[in-house]
Amino acid sequence: MLIQKAYIRNVAPYLEGIGEGVELRMVAAVTDANRQKLPRIGFNDPPGNGDTILPLGVGAVSRFNAEGRWMAHRDEPKEERYIRTVRWRWTEWRGRDQEEMEDFKDIYRLCYPRSFIEPPAIELTYVETDAGAFVVGPVLLNQPDNREAIRHCTNLLLELFGECQFMRRDISPFENVKMRRVAWKMLPEGAHPWPRLERHLADVLRPYSDNTKAVIFDRQKTILSHHPEEFFVGTGGFSDYIAYVFPHHGLVILECIRWGNAIYAFGQNWEAFTKLTKAEVISAGVHEARIVHTEGWKERLARLLDNRNAKHQAAE
């Protein structure tokens, strides 16, 4: 059945006639009319057969899918919470002279407690067959405890393409396509990485204030001062991350530039890291260390790298 709606609240009527326990997937046909939407949600232009992405957040459903959301508990007392870091500038007098000063300050406010709802992180795959081109979701089992996942995947494709349909796995030619994740793009090598990274950040952070940009730029310069051998910028739903690779430390440092205000350290090589989905990236059971961007974070990062380097060298 072809579904042509902006959003569905109840997926059950669309599953009538599909037996319980049957494997299914959501599919959106790629047409001349909607093909231009592919690069907007994170696919390469042109996409390759089997390219798999976490789609970029372009609406409420896809933003939740890529980033998750916070749920405030307004029935509980407010508590102090770190909000952001700002650049503070002032002028001091030195006798008859003036000196421009600058510092970074953490801002805290009283807020309702909140819980983070992790993103579903549904990935989509571009597939070409004799019948045409399609964007397909993951294979899901039609069973009661999967109804919400099926509904979310349906609404995700409806938001991105305006229509979609269920297809059965046993008659679908899509399942044998080998996936090739394209969530990361390596920036060119060179002795001066900051200008290239700055250009990328300027595009990603265009809606933000100059003060916010200054804080984020300072964080990236701090990490670069430790001389990572490679660094990658995320694409699609990973565009709020930058990955710094320290092979001699056995670490991948992941910097979140939009939300979360934290650095994540993964004790894996780059090849292993790129196989992680976003749901796995933000899972507490996967990363080795988490450093929140509050006062003293630069020192904590330096200690982490020093300790890891010593440990890695001792193991060699």
Nearest one of 87, 91, 113 to 100, comparing CA atoms:
91
**Residue 261 pLDDT:** 67
Residues 6+ apart with CB under 8 A from 41: 53, 55, 56, 58, 62, 124, 160, 236
272 membership: H or E segment, kind and range:
helix 270-273
Q: Which residues pair with 303 in a beta bridge?
A: none
C-alpha span between 199 and 271 (Å, rounded):
26
315 membership: H or E segment, kind and range:
helix 297-315
Half-sphere exposure (Cβ direction) of 196: Cα atoms closer than 13 Å: 15
For the chain, 316 residues long, the average pLDDT of each consecutive 10-residue run is: 85 79 89 92 91 93 93 94 89 87 91 92 90 90 92 96 82 44 64 70 80 86 86 78 84 77 78 74 75 89 86 66
Summarised one tens digit per residue, pLDDT across range 77-132 is: 999 998 889 998 889 888 888 888 889 999 999 999 999 999 999 999 998 888 88
Are 41 and 62 in contact, with CB atoms under 8 Å apart?
Answer: yes
pTM: predicted TM-score of the whole model, two decimal places: 0.68
**Residue 204 pLDDT:** 77
**Rama region for 176: left / alpha / beta (φ>0; ψ in -120 to 50; rest):** alpha
**Residue 316 pLDDT:** 59
**Residue 62 pLDDT:** 95
Q: Where are the alpha helices (DSSP H) in 42-141?
A: 60-67
**Residue 171 pLDDT:** 42
C-alpha span between 117 and 67 (Å, rounded):
9
DSSP one-letter code for 71: E
